[in-house]
Amino acid sequence: MRTGAHRLAGTLAVTLLTAALSVAVPPAHADQARAHQQPDRIAQQITDGLRAARNSAGGPTFDPSLALLSAEARGKVNFLQADVDRGARGKLRAEQRNTTRLAAATPYAEKEAAGTLGTNDTEPTAERIAGFGTGTHQNSAVGITGDLADDPNIPTLPAGSEDNGSIPLAVDTGVSGARQAVRTTGVIGDGPHGSAGDGHGDFGFHKVSGVPAGVLLGIDVGTQGDFNAIARLHDANGGTLFRADDPSSGNVSLDLSLPTTGDYYLMVSGSGPNLGPPADPKDSGSGAGVGSEGAYSLKLSTQQGGDQDVYGVYLKAGDVVGATVTGSGHHLSLYDAAGTELMGSTRDASGSYAPASPLPGGGNATVDLVAPRAGRHFLAVSNGVGAYHAELEAYRPGTEVEKKGTVQALFLDFDGARVNISIFGSGGAQRDLSPLSSFLPGWGLTTADENKVIDAVVTSVKENIATDLAKKGSNPHFAVRVLNSRDDPDPFGRPDVSRVVVGGTIAESGIPTIGISSSIDPGNYGHEDTALVLLDLLSAAAPNPDSLNTCLGAQSDKIGFIGRALGNIITHEIGHYSGNWHTNQYDDTANLMDQGGDPAQMLGVGTDGIGGTAADVDVDFTTDTYTPQEPFTGYEDTLGTTAWAYSRGLG
């Protein structure tokens, strides 16, 4: 049984836990200009509500999806708390949207009969939703009701015999690759260490072997009565990769993307005040006490849950699309006309959107897309059994619907600034950040070099943002202004001005990062965003792995390299509040949105391993896979997303 179940997505490197969220009812968007007028008023209400919720919860950490993490922070940042906070923000956004919606979404009912599968499971057989779009007389918000059927071909294994309470004693499920699934059952409490035994605690371990990297492992644990299940996934060495439970339902339902191939062990146990995990997952008698006990059902799948419902829509270039799903659906994907996955998701990431964003959220999973070109696109709903409700919405970019001639400004602040860091999820304190000039000695430079460094930084940002996006992007109305604190009066606080504060330290900001943005904002609806690029680690003495000094040699053009490197990091944070998530820092594609972990690649250090030489390379926005540290799949077009974030106002 699965009542009130929720899905979790995790990776080998992080632990992610999200609570079940309420159903969101989206606004309608027949009047695009009027729809855009709502967010600025809503944004402050949402921010106030988030601050109150954050304070009552004891102050969660910042959202790592928004940050370029330092080497020390990577692997130590509280991804667990950040994901809980992100879910709360998504729910609050959904509730706020409900109270301000303009009209109901246009309903669409799936044509495939409930309880059946195979009719609309692929792009060629997708159900077309006619009339969807952002044009005049089109429906820009559609509410899809559908049903996911169970797969009758999934084999059922008998329950494993006791004792199966450790890794060496685990039941082998036979799941050992992609597109496999199995059902089985078990009982917590019938083993030698349950309440009828020595009372150390009963655990059920289930083995899967060799699941390929990047394949989603679907896990569904169903319970009855008062039994509340807890699930943990261990690697072959006993390390814990995640823990999940849902006290509201007693069940666990999740999707987990494993970045490496190997053997993994799912442990099922019962919650309770006396329960403790086994001190040694390889020893079934090493538990700390008995929790709730009872029977459970288990489904393990590497085939995306069997049934998949696919819907086709036509998008114009620059359309900003978002979708969320509630009910039985727990996985969403967006595909282009060629069948390339542009974004797949098993979690509600809408809490990372700007408060002013009109995109939907608050469901089991969300996806977003800025269409770089016109054409057929597809939304796929999967991973579940039973009825679901999906909201699909489309908008024009936020700056495009502004007053005719309006141009977004990006302000680079080198003079230091006072910043309320609550916008990064770190409490409500006002923090004073030191100026760029304070960090020049760390690079062996003096105040006489400051203008040269600023010149190099501004040149780098303009090349990344203004020149490249105008030349390579598909937005015919692209326009942006890049200003800086040396050459221009400080315009921040005026409409349509976002900033990047270049300066400050971890100690001053209270955030253990190199850079961080206030949001991820597909379509650029929050026109007054803030990002930080902190300089203490970047100017630290070599061989600090985050320091620019580590990349420098005797033959380096020091100022040229520092200017380009800072420009790339600044552009990375601008890329976030332009709508981009992190891309894969471990592959061969250098992208300005690479998450961190290979700084030399994102900073353009060439094959000689030394920055500031003729071997250096120009790193740009491009198409790349999502980082494995964040549970998205597909190919992200960071060039197209950023280019369409900045349109000259046509309203």
Q: Contact, 621 vs 592, CB < 8 A?
A: yes
CATH architecture of 9-151+306-395: Sandwich (2.60)
User: What pLDDT, in 10s, does the model give residues 4-56?
Assistant: 222 223 222 222 222 221 222 222 333 333 333 333 433 444 344 444 434 43
Q: Which of 6-20, 481-495, 549-563, 636-650 has the lowest mean pLDDT?
A: 6-20
Percent of residues in the chain assigned helix, strand, coil, to nearest 5: 20, 25, 55
Sheet holding 67-68, edge to edge: 67-68, 515-517, 530-533, 497-502, 409-413, 481-484
* Cβ contact 557:499 at 8 Å: no
pLDDT of 491 strictly over 80: yes
18-22, 159-163, 203-207, 596-600, range with the lowest pLDDT: 18-22
What fold characterizes domain 171-301?
Jelly Rolls (2.60.120)
Of the ranges 84-93, 228-237, 421-430, which one carries the lowest mean pLDDT score? 84-93
> Is 540 in contact with 546 (CB distance < 8 Å)?
yes
pLDDT band at 273 (very low <50, low <70, confident <90, very high): low
**In the predicted model, what is the mean pLDDT of the chain?**
84
Task: Reply yes or no on whether the pLDDT at 251 is more than 50.
Answer: yes
pLDDT in tens, 398-422: 999 999 999 999 999 999 999 998 8
CA distances from 233 to 12, 146, 450 (A): 10, 31, 51
pLDDT, average across residues 573-582: 96
pTM surpassing 0.75? yes
Quick check: 14 and 76 in contact, CB under 8 A? no
Q: pLDDT at position 131, please? A: 93
pLDDT band at 86 (very low <50, low <70, confident <90, very high): low
Q: What is the mean pLDDT of residues 113-130?
A: 93
